[in-house]
Amino acid sequence: MTPPVIEARGLTVSFTLPGGFLTRRPPPTVQAVSAVDLSVAKGETLALVGESGCGKSTLGRALIRTQSISNGRVLFKGRDITDLKGEALRAARSSFQMIFQDPYASLNPKMRVFDTLAEPLRVHGGGSRAEIRERVDEILDAVGLDRSFGARYPHEFSGGQRQRVAIARAVVLKPDFIVADEPLSALDVSLQLQVLKLFDALRRRFSLTYLFVSHDLARVFGFADRVAVMYLGKIVEIGPATSLVARPAHPYTQALIAAAPSPDPVLEASREVPRLSGEIPSPLDPPGGCRFHTRCPFVMPVCRSVEPPMLPAGPDHRAACHLLGSGTGPA
């Protein structure tokens, strides 16, 4: 098996909320990411999916050390980077980058595109002025933008073009690992497939490794090598994309797949989408046992008191569900 580029071991990220001044109670704490074990192999695209607020983006930011870690470890190419600070962390960051959700907010409106792409090279010693110019031109070509666009400002581009600039900025340093945080959500549907093809082309050209954060299962199943499903700060299922979509093992994954829209308009109009009962529990007070048991149609008594371990559901496919341990599996 290919060694992992990035690896999380028991990764936990907690946030302390403002406490009540009059009640004198200790401030409440939210565990946005709870004891997650995860690895991404070199050249792989791992999609991280789940409902809004489940901790996907926080996990991605923690992996590249732009979010403080409360507990656990992060290993990058076998090196523990959990406690890196200052110059050591700045130097390491040239090897992992992030593409943000909003291409309008993530680019400096006062900087020309050339300077936006050249700045990371200057900060990390990318060579002479001629070498930086050559590298920027190469990246503009790679993302499908004309070299003359380097003289323009972000407001002169469409949304799709801005996202290409944001992608170019992440790729210009030739990083080993990129976190793409909902990079399609601000784009029209007509542009999303083009950007996915660009991601795949860049991965092959520059030997990139992606963690692709998304809530759109219909898109990621055809793009990712593996898919990890997250619920209330926990990874509840992970496996090859083809295996996970054909035979989802966790009831939550089943519900997400069933809710994904069909490309056939006739089928979409006639089908009945199963709905989960209840609301997502508050991350301030997550349920005991399996965190999904308050909404699960297959809940058993053990689910309310015992947290399920990750159990085999197929080749390189695991899920945290007591039904797998009982030998019955979800219906």
Which DSSP string do the residues of 61-117 spell out, in sequence order?
HHHTTSS--SEEEEEETTEE-TT--HHHHHHHGGGEEEE-S-TTTSS-TTS-HHHHH
C-alpha to C-alpha distance for 302 and 305, rounded to whole angstroms: 6
How does pLDDT run across 59-75, given as a tens digit for each residue?
999 999 999 999 999 99
Q: Provide the CATH number for the domain formed by 4-19+28-224 in this structure.
A: 3.40.50.300
pLDDT for position 269: 54
Strands of the sheet containing 210-214, edge to edge, are: 96-99, 177-181, 210-214, 45-49, 226-231, 234-240, 317-319, 311-314
Amino acid letter for position 235 = I
Amino acid letter for position 82 = T
Closest CA to 316 of 228, 207, 206: 228
The burial of 324, by beta-carbon neighbours within 10 Å (0-12 exposed, 13-18 middle, 19 or more buried), is given as buried
How does pLDDT run across 8-61, given as a tens digit for each residue?
999 999 998 876 556 677 778 889 999 999 999 999 999 999 988 899 999 999
List, for the chain, all residue ranges whose pLDDT scores fall below the cut of 50.
268, 331
Give me the percent of the chain exceeding a pLDDT of 70. 92
Q: What is the average pLDDT score of the chain?
A: 89
Q: How many CA atoms lie within 13 A of 311 on its CB side?
A: 16
C-alpha to C-alpha distance for 312 and 325, rounded to whole angstroms: 9
Strand partners, 90: none
pLDDT for position 282: 85
C-alpha to C-alpha distance for 223 and 197, rounded to whole angstroms: 9
The number of beta carbons lying within 10 Å of the beta carbon of residue 51 is: 14
Closest CA to 80 of 15, 31, 13, 10: 10
Report how far apart, in Å, the C-alpha atoms of 155 and of each of 64, 108, 161, 169, 194 are. 29, 10, 10, 16, 21
pLDDT for position 172: 95
